[in-house]
A and B are shown apart, each in its own frame.
Chain A
Amino acid sequence: MDSNEDAWKFSIMTSSQSAKVHGLLEQPIALSQFINEAPIGILVVDPELRVVLMNRALEALTGFVSSEVSGVPCCFVLRTNLCLDGCPVKNLTPQGGSICLESNILNKNREKIPVRVTTSALIGEKGRIVGYTKSVEDMRYLQKADGAGGRFSFGNLIGNSPEMQRVFRLLPAIAQTDSSVLITGQTGTGKDFVAEAIHNASQRSRSPFVKVNCGALPESLLESELFGHQKGAFTGAIENKPGRFRLAHNGTLYLTEIGDLPLNLQVKLLSFLDDQVIYPLGGSRGIHVDVRVIAATHRDLEGMTRQGRFREDLLFRLNVIRLQLPPLSQRGQDINMLIDHFLHHFNTRFRKKIKSLSPRARKILLEYSFPGNVRELRNIIEFAVNLSDGDTIRSEHLSTYLKTPIPVQVEAETNPPIEKKEIVLETSHNSLNLDWAHVEREMIMDALVKARGNRAKAAKLLGLGRSTLWRKMKNYLIVP
């Protein structure tokens, strides 16, 4: 090793991005080649602890791009609790060694992630410290593994209803495959949690889990965000951008609101699912990335396909594994379990000492339909905990709208018809195990009740034409 010591010289160029390693191999090689493929986050800082370089895994973990934070003190990028309590760097000496500590970071996406940080000093030729490296290991997969296996939970999901038990049984098996997954379910049913739980239980758990909301960005930005761009690809593209696909290399890319993905990007996604190659904007060469895609939507993709708003071939490719999450209204006693869970959560958070809900308040909640599902229940409990000053949540601490029934007609107008159709279908399928004719008759009856006898609205809820509904009603002897 001594004879090779001179060969181990990093020649840091003016830009950290173009830093090269000389003397190691036949030709100088880019430092980024070494560190970008590492499955853990790596950060290089100067003696003043300012960011010099970070690898792709750390970019995915922190949400920052290396070039935008170059020169920024590392405590504003990593944001570990150690940054405020006492940076371990102070305990490092030029004699070498490293310090490994468990900590947590707060990333740009406002997630608190448990990590293990290993800090080492970089010693220069004259024996002085010329910088530091920090290796950041995501510990979520370990914590999930510790907590996995509970009868009533999986990841952040809890539930005891047969519907959720079915989901919990499926999840470990889904995690072990590497196929694309399509998660469907109404808003607030926990699609994001399921996607993350699948990633954490999979063999990719040590690599990044990157989430993209396809509905949150305009089309032009979304393409660059997903597939990246080359410097000069368009006005304002002043530097290369790797894109979320590359950031998720070896990990999982979670595309939420996939139903909102514009048609031209659907083609690009389809092309990626075919050959695992992405083409950055302005780039001439394709880049191979190993990414598992999990998509989620609350929309009816089959219906959108019929309307020409979603590509059928993309649906087939995403639909390798389909996971339908039940709405809260179908989860029976889970509502009680979730009420107690959120009560405990917000008690701790707001330092309250609320013990329970009054019977009347609980009855109001149990009778409510929860169109916003678990998210809505969580918000209701948060609101009530804030309002309550005693040890019990009473009915007056609940939002007024819970105590005033909303007319069915208003509900039908505010919710997308497609989603309502899903509710009808799920109720029928899950509640009864009968032949199709019986199920269809029940669906029609259910829709007519919901639409208060208005056949046009019932047809819309079912996704049928008015005349088709009329014909079916005649067949099933449903008297108009």
Chain B
Amino acid sequence: MKRLLIPLKGDEIAPRFDLAPEVMIVTVTDDGEIAEQRLMVMAHASPESLCELILKEKVDVTVCCGIEEEFFQYLTWKKVRVIDSVVGSCERIVDCFRTGTLTPGTILR
């Protein structure tokens, strides 16, 4: 079971982690099925609040586009895997994650 968090802007991944207005939290079972999917609206966009949410929600993997080094290091230190510089729609990113083909820098056109 893995909990995945994707900062969103509309249906697509947000260009920046620190300015994402909403996030999608997806729970994926070991055999790649989606057990739960939730959309959360951030009260205000802030990287600190997002880090706090990631830890509170016990997220295992964060998929984002642009992220600052200090937040990347912070999450990594907190044992959260960060896959950054990813571009694409939320749906395709989740599909890619389920098949184990999502890597940093993946561009899903």
Instruction: Please list the residues of chain A having a beta carbon within 8 angstroms of any beta carbon in chain B.
Output: 68-69, 71-73, 75-76, 79, 81, 83-85, 106-112, 349-351
A81 in contact with B107 given A110-B72, A110-B84 (CB within 8 Å):
no
B98 interface residue, CB < 8 Å from A?
A: no
Query: CA–CA, A112 to B18, complex, Å?
Result: 11
- Are A110 and B48 within 8 A (Cβ)? no
| Residues of chain A with a CB closer than 8 A to B70's CB | 349
Query: CA–CA, A205 to B19, complex, Å?
Result: 28
| Residues of chain B with a CB closer than 8 A to A83's CB | 15-16
- Are B68 and A350 within 8 A (Cβ)? no
Closest Cβ neighbor of A71 among chain B residues: B109
Q: How many of chain B's residues have a CB under 8 angstroms from any CB in A? A: 24
Closest Cβ neighbor of A84 among chain B residues: B19
- Are A106 and B109 within 8 A (Cβ)? no
Since A84-B45, A106-B68 are in contact, a sample of 10 more A-B pairs with Cβ atoms closer than 8 Å, ordered by chain A residue number, is A69-B107, A75-B15, A76-B65, A79-B16, A79-B66, A83-B16, A84-B20, A110-B68, A111-B69, A351-B48
| Residues of chain B with a CB closer than 8 A to A112's CB | 68
Shortest beta-carbon distance, A17 to chain B, in Å? 18
- In the complex, which of the residues B16, B48, B69, B107 contacts A84, with contact meaning CB atoms closer than 8 Å? B16
- In the complex, which of the residues A76, A106, A109, A350 contacts B87, with contact meaning CB atoms closer than 8 Å? A76
Shortest beta-carbon distance, B60 to chain A, in Å? 20
Interface class of chain A by DSSP: mixed
Closest Cβ neighbor of A50 among chain B residues: B109
A84 in contact with B109 given A79-B65, A79-B66 (CB within 8 Å):
no
- Are A106 and B16 within 8 A (Cβ)? yes
- Are B14 and A84 within 8 A (Cβ)? yes
Query: CA–CA, A75 to B69, complex, Å?
Result: 19
Complex A-B: 27 CB contacts under 8 Å? A69-B107, A71-B109, A72-B87, A72-B109, A73-B87, A76-B15, A76-B65, A76-B87, A79-B65, A79-B66, A81-B19, A83-B16, A84-B16, A84-B19, A84-B45, A106-B16, A106-B18, A107-B66, A108-B85, A109-B69, A110-B66, A110-B67, A110-B72, A110-B84, A111-B69, A349-B70, A350-B48
| Residues of chain A with a CB closer than 8 A to B18's CB | 106
- In the complex, which of the residues A72, A81, A349 contacts B16, with contact meaning CB atoms closer than 8 Å? A81
Shortest beta-carbon distance, A62 to chain B, in Å? 10
Query: CA–CA, A69 to B106, complex, Å?
Result: 11
Q: Which positions 65-100 of chain B face chain A at CB distance < 8 Å?
A: 65-70, 72, 84-85, 87
B9 interface residue, CB < 8 Å from A?
A: yes
Q: Which positions 1-34 of chain B face chain A at CB distance < 8 Å?
A: 9, 13-16, 18-21
Query: CA–CA, A28 to B72, complex, Å?
Result: 46
Q: Max chain A CB contacts within 10 Å: which of B15, B20, B72?
A: B15
- In the complex, which of the residues A71, A79, A111, A349 contacts B15, with contact meaning CB atoms closer than 8 Å? A79
| Residues of chain A with a CB closer than 8 A to B66's CB | 79, 106-107, 110
